[in-house]
Structure 1
């Protein structure tokens, strides 16, 4: 991975409290795993940003090296890699993902 791609990914990760690298967009996810990841984040009610890896092959390949994780989507919270959609689902079902969002200060306050 080139330093330029690594830098672009690092800047994206650092610029957003909750960032999902995904295939497609939140309105039009391009794979079931990305769709599930968006559904989880929407259910949690957190503000998040996304990067559509289908728009940039360098990012699509680079993120796998950056995180040492072979699949997309990939979730980052406060600059830390959390996991892909399977890990997100397991953490969500166990209540751990909501707890993580609260601990990182990104969970939406209960109204």
Structure 2
């Protein structure tokens, strides 16, 4: 037992090499390529809504992606004109890079007008509180008239 305690105190590989108290500390490895970052910047900034998901809006491949699509459909978002969806299951580099890009570890991920909103849980909370509708109206993704017609 004393050997283990001594090894723990003295072995470099058992001690963290990152100061997690530092404001610049990150738990994400930096592997994103310059080309992928440029591609993500362009795609995210040039579309009203960007959705990184497992599957497609017509055929989601996980429950969280399905729920995200359904939340946006309930909000009246037109997937044909307002959403650019990316299937991360088709591209392993994209799947890992988007997590680093957003510093958000899970998929799906939603961006509105170039700004990261969050994943399924965040979207659900925003939907329930009315904040998602406010965000979509403010960014001219939907109009209040669209919401009235649904009722």
Task: Name the TM-score, length of structure 2 as normaliser.
Answer: 0.71
Q: Deviations over 1:82-103 (max 9, x none)?
A: 0000000000001110001111
Q: Pick the structure with greater CA Rg.
A: 2
Structure 1 unaligned residues grouped into runs of 5+? none
May I ask how many residue pairs the two structures share in their alignment?
Answer: 111
- Structure 1 residue ranges (4+ consecutive) displaced by more than 6 angstroms after TM superposition: none
Alpha-carbon distance in structure 2 between the residues aligned to 1:57 and 1:92: 30
Q: 1:52 to 1:43 in 2, by over 3 A?
A: same
Summarize the alignment of residues 3-82 of structure 1 with structure 2, pairs less than 5 Å apart.
Answer: 3-47=34-78, 48-82=83-117
Counterpart position of 1:83: 118
Give the stretch that moved more between structures: 55-64 or 39-48.
Answer: 39-48
Alpha-carbon distance in structure 2 between the residues aligned to 1:96 and 1:109: 14
Q: Which has the higher contact order (CA 8 A, sep 6+)?
A: 1
Task: Name the TM-score, length of structure 1 as normaliser.
Answer: 0.95
